[in-house]
Amino acid sequence: MYRRLEAPAVAEAISVPNQLASNLSGGHLSGPSQLSPSLQRRLSELAHEYDLTLRQLSDPALLNDSRALVKLTRRQRELEPIIALYREDQQLDQAQREAQDMLEDPELRELAQQDLQATQQRRQALNAELEVLLLPSDPDDVRDVILEIRAGAGGDEAGLFAADLLRMYERYLSAHGYKLSILDENMSTLGGYSKVMAEVTGEYAFRTLKFERGVHRVQRIPATETQGRIHTSTVTVAVLPVAEPEDVALDLSDIRLDVYRSQGAGGQGVNTTDSAVRAVYKAGTPEEIMVVCQETRSQIKNREKAIALIRTRLAERVREAFDQQQSANRAAQVGTGDRSEKVRTYNYPQNRVTDHRLSGDDKNFALDSVMQGGLDGIIAALTRLEREALLANMTHGAA
């Protein structure tokens, strides 16, 4: 996805929006008040795509294709804020031209200068907003998620905290309209989890949860502690984007169909017609799959079932490859669960959650609120950090 940020890059990234705010509040313009030609071209293309998307959504035939409807509706919502700013900029461009013409009139010059300055400032702010909205996005952002929580270091206490994290995510996701379904769970002693796996479905589930990947450290007095000592335990969280159904494609031209007379016992007529079907996918290659269907007396039905079997086998292959890739991704995300590999610390005695990817006062949050599902502040801060880093990369690339 995106490169990991080192501290200097983060500091430079944070300075980008701060510099813009300073310029505006200081009353002078240090950046362009007009969109660059390349940005104008890109926005013009997106405006055309937006109009085309609206026309497609108005087609009644689209109601028969739910997958296409969801895809187009999602794209409309993605483009809407961009196009709204672009059209506002076009209106401001016209207002700026009119204000410039008014400068020729001595009686209107002062008013025109005020209008011109306000228009230029707004256009400069629009320029910055559009640059953020047009930042490259993670293609996995729209996907559903497999959420995996594993107890790391700390024994029973780690298992208990894994259960606490699951409840935290359940509360957060439920409040935001997502659905969490448990797929697999291994209970530990005392009612915790050594591992729990769940599917999270809903729009932009991966974008919502991707910052949760990593090692979560907890500092608190365990229920099993008799002397009141604070223990440190860890839990690893993996967030894996789910492969969508359209990721598996089947080209019927790759299938050879043979028909022959059914063999073995059967009802009247089943052995007297060429109704059995053998389907071979990519015959003679390492990818070959062969299935036979002679379930019914109908050759057409047997052929349909054989093709469906081929499709099922292919989907299983893709699923296995996907699982292997996700295993590698999981290892890269969460490491071994050692205490030193942490993205977040939950300090119960001080009622504080610290996200170690953030800095300053922005990194600390109230623990009681977070554990009740109040993750909005953390996710918003990490989203800003990601955008600032992308802006910094764009700035460095243009230099």
Q: Is the CATH number 3.30.160.20 carried by domain 250-322?
A: yes
pLDDT at position 25 is 34
Specify the amino acid at residue 99. Answer: A
Buried b (16+ CB within 10 A) or exposed e, 108-136: eeeebeebbeebbbbbbbbbbbbbebeee
Domain 140-245+334-388 CATH class label = alpha beta
10-residue mean pLDDT profile of the chain (399 residues): values are 32 36 37 68 89 92 85 87 90 89 86 89 86 76 85 86 94 94 78 85 90 91 75 88 64 82 49 71 85 68 73 66 62 42 88 90 92 93 83 59
Of how many residues is the chain composed? 399
Nearest Cα residue to 91 out of 117, 49, 55, 126 = 126
Is 250-322 in the same CATH topology as 140-245+334-388?
Answer: no
Strand runs labelled E in the chain: 145-151, 179-187, 193-201, 214-220, 231-241, 255-260, 276-281, 289-293, 344-347, 352-355, 364-366
pLDDT at position 21 is 35
Paired strand residues for 220: 231
pLDDT at position 319 is 57
Please state, as a whole number, how many other Cβ atoms lie within 10 Å of the Cβ of residue 367: 21
Domain ranges of the chain: 31-134, 140-245+334-388, 250-322
- The full DSSP string for 51-102 is HHHHHHHT-GGGGG-HHHHHHHHHHHHHHHHHHHHHHHHHHHHHHHHHHHHH
- Cβ atoms of 299 and 275 closer than 8 Å: yes
Q: Are strands 344-347 and 214-220 parallel, antiparallel or unpaired?
A: parallel
Q: Please count the helices (runs of H) and the strands (runs of E) in the chain.
A: 9, 11
